[in-house]
Structure 1
Amino acid sequence: MTTSAAEIEQQKQASAEAAALLVEDGQKVGLGTGSTVAYLLPALAARNLKRMRWVATSPRTEAAARALGLQVEPFELSELDVAIDGADQVAPDGWLIKGGGGAHTRERLVAAAADRFVVIASSDKTVERLHAPVPLELHEFGLASTLRRLPMARLRPDTPRSPDNGLIADLHEPIDDPAALAQRLEATPGIVDHGLFPSAMVHDVLIARASGVEHLRI
């Protein structure tokens, strides 16, 4: 049965609100970027938590959080208690594809700094196996040479740059082995970062379905 757009939005809100309840008073929290995180921010603000320290993965998230009274600060902390973010694809083993909004480099840095990385998603984000495209952030310097090394990558037309002024592209290769592809991309000069996130980085996945929010611990 097809899930309607309105139902998907309800699921995004449900997963975000469930994740907000995992945050404890006095914690250092990383805030992701995207349409599901847009529901997370008001849910966190409504809890009226004290002594919090907030870090955002994009100017868009920072502005939205500040408008709700969450005092976002520069990411100068060495570690975070929890980071919460969405995903474009969630595989059964916990591997993710992120970067639809072009902030995946900052999202990885924040997730890696967190003791607990919580992924929030609606049911349409679940996949049996990861598939193309994989978002990439590329250096502008030497771009033609970088793209020659990535013949199946395409720059996104009319797309804003990353929060750190990188160019955003999508790699349209089959994903037979996510770990091997991630390793190859990390070794390719000109790539700032890619959107493949390993299950080892993920601690919790909250998937909202029509029947309720499923909490998976990876």
Structure 2
Amino acid sequence: MSVGELEAFKRAAAVAAAEEVEDGMRVGLGTGSTVAHLLPAIAARGLTRLRCVATSVATAEQAAALGLAVEPFDTLDRLDLAIDGADQIAPDGWIVKGGGGAHVREKVVAAAADRFVVIADATKVVDALTAPVPLELLAFGLAATLVAVAPATVRPGMAPSPDGNVIADYTGPIDDPAALAAFLSSVPGLVDHGLFPPALTAEVVVAGPDGVRRRTV
């Protein structure tokens, strides 16, 4: 599959999801290459009463440049809708996110939304989740935290998270996503991980050679 085809599929999924945005909504905007197609699709609809929050500086800057009203998340306590991409989508609804290092903010925004919609091209649909699983770690006690979540490595050359924390990756097996998620969440020094449970997602919108498909989780 060519790069051009992949971008076309990302754009198709993004445009389909943008149709779910209604004027007056409070909308959470994710981060990543598929969301980069979502923002102009939302802006093109000409909705004037949206209140948006962004999960990264890059998203906030792109959204603002397109004329979308972006505000700090400390001004809203609930969102009507959040839309974001994914790195992997399993058949049972478990999702891996965080390739861009913003997974903690992405999870906070997803959890605050009445509906969380995931958009992706067909290559992100997998038979089973595999490593890596993105991690956000405190710099304090980093070496000890890495030992506790082993096998894990700091992502080389990666900038800090939007909140200034260290981005790393768990590189071990994912035989049981729920058990791994519970374990990672229990480790002091680990802010959060990129495993998103099925209960968090309302709908998955995937575009591929066969068109756009929607799946309720």
Residue in 2 that maps onto 1:201: 200
- When normalised by structure 2's length, the TM-score is 0.98
Q: Residues 46-125 of structure 1 correspond to what in structure 2 (within 5 A)? A: 46-76=44-74, 77-125=76-124
The 3-state SS of whatever aligns with 1:164 is: coil
* Residue ranges of structure 2 left out of the alignment (5+ in a row): none
Q: Cα offset for 1:4?
A: 1.6
Q: Which runs of 4+ in 1 moved over 6 A?
A: none
Pick one of 8, 11, 18 that aligns with 1:10.
8
- Asked whether 1:145 is paired with 2:155, we answer no
Distance in 1 between the 2:94 and 2:34 partners?
Answer: 18
CA-atom RMSD in angstroms: 0.6
Instruction: Quote the offset at 1:50 in angstroms.
Output: 2.1
Distance 1:17 1:66 in 2: 18
Q: Check the 8 A contact 2:149/2:184 in 1, yes or no.
A: no
Work out whether 1:214 is the aligned partner of 2:202: no
CA distance in 2, matches of 1:155, 1:148: 12
Matches of 2:138 and 2:60, distance apart in 1: 24
Q: Which amino acid aligns with 1:37?
A: V
Between the aligned partners of 2:146 and 2:63, the Cα distance in structure 1 is 36
Query: How big is the shift at 1:144?
Result: 1.1
The corresponding residue for 1:166 is: 165
Aligned equivalents of 1:56, 1:153: Cα separation in 2: 28
TM-score (norm 1): 0.98
% of aligned pairs identical? 61
Shift of 1:65: 0.3
- Corresponding residue pairs, total: 216
- Structure 2 counterpart of 1:116, one-letter code: R
Preserved contact between residue 119 and residue 204 of structure 2 (Cα < 8 Å) = yes
- Provide the rounded CA distance (Å) in 1 between the counterparts of 2:106 and 2:54: 9
Aligned amino acid, residue 35 of structure 2: V
Matches of 1:74 and 1:105 in 2, distance apart? 16
- Aligned residue for 1:65, secondary structure, equals helix
